[in-house]
Amino acid sequence: MDIPDRLTRAAENGDAAAVARLLDAGAEADAPNSVRRTALDLAVNAGHVDVVRLLLAAGADPCRRTGEYRELTPMLQAAMRPDPEMIRVLLDAGASMDAQGPMEWVPLVVAATSGDRGHPQTVVLLLDRGADIDAVMKGRTALEYALTTGRTLMARWLLGRGAAPTEYALGLAHSRARQSPEDAKKYAPVLGALHARLSELDG
């Protein structure tokens, strides 16, 4: 097994000691393995923050394309996970919060719509670091995606943080609320929050 394969395997397994030894022995932090994955790619994907710190300190590029098909970035991978510390480490290393990857995905939107309810702690961190709460990804904001995917708690939280209560968002909430009695109950608090925000803006 050559050095890049050894490094990526250790990174994916979270073996920080082995990663440190390989880097000290001259392994290149961004060298791809035999299937074109890098150590940073696999460490972020597996959630090994300590390994990610080592790789970034050794010069790994926090903006390099990742994923099996080069469809992601470390930030997008981290935004899909519930641990905000990975996001913090990547931001400190210079990672972008703007649309990125070949699909132009926005980390804030990804964080708001990943998992069963989105990842609010990650969204908080991104907003505190200056992310645009109304950033658009493929024509929709995080609020609109949250409503589309049934993440009503996230939608209410985004509204509480100042997300724009767009007419499209209001239409989505009304449409989903009409689908069944259960949906009506689920979306009622969101509709109330939307109307409250619209009243605030009108006032």
Which pLDDT tens digit goes with each residue over 147-172?
A: 999 999 999 999 999 999 999 999 99
- Closest C-alpha to 193, from 167, 148, 158, 141: 158
**Global confidence as pTM:** 0.94
- In whole angstroms, what is the distance from residue 39 CA to residue 27 CA? 11
Look over the chain and give the mean of its residue pLDDT values, rounded to a whole number.
96
Residue 105 pairs with which residues in a beta bridge?
Answer: 100
Kindly list the domain boundaries of the chain, sorted by start residue. 1-61
Tens of pLDDT along 19-54?
999 999 999 999 999 999 999 999 999 999 999 999
Share of the chain above pLDDT 70, in %: 100
Average pLDDT over residues 91-103: 97
pLDDT recorded at residue 163: 97
- In whole angstroms, what is the distance from residue 183 CA to residue 62 CA? 41
Average pLDDT over residues 120-125: 96
SS3 66: strand
pLDDT recorded at residue 203: 66
Average pLDDT over residues 103-114: 97
Share of the chain above pLDDT 90, in %: 97
Average pLDDT over residues 183-191: 96
pLDDT recorded at residue 202: 83
pLDDT recorded at residue 183: 96
- CB atoms under 10 Å from CB of 12, counted, come to 18
Tens of pLDDT along 43-83?
999 999 999 999 999 999 999 999 999 999 999 999 999 99
Residue 137 pairs with which residues in a beta bridge?
Answer: 140
pLDDT recorded at residue 144: 98
- Write out 138-202 in H/E/C secondary structure: CCECHHHHHHHCCCHHHHHHHHHCCCCCCHHHHHHHHHHHCCCHHHHHHHHHHHHHHHHHHHHHH
Domain 1-61 fold is 1.25.40
Q: Is the dihedral of CA 104, 137, 153, 172 positive or negative?
A: negative
- In whole angstroms, what is the distance from residue 6 CA to residue 28 CA? 11
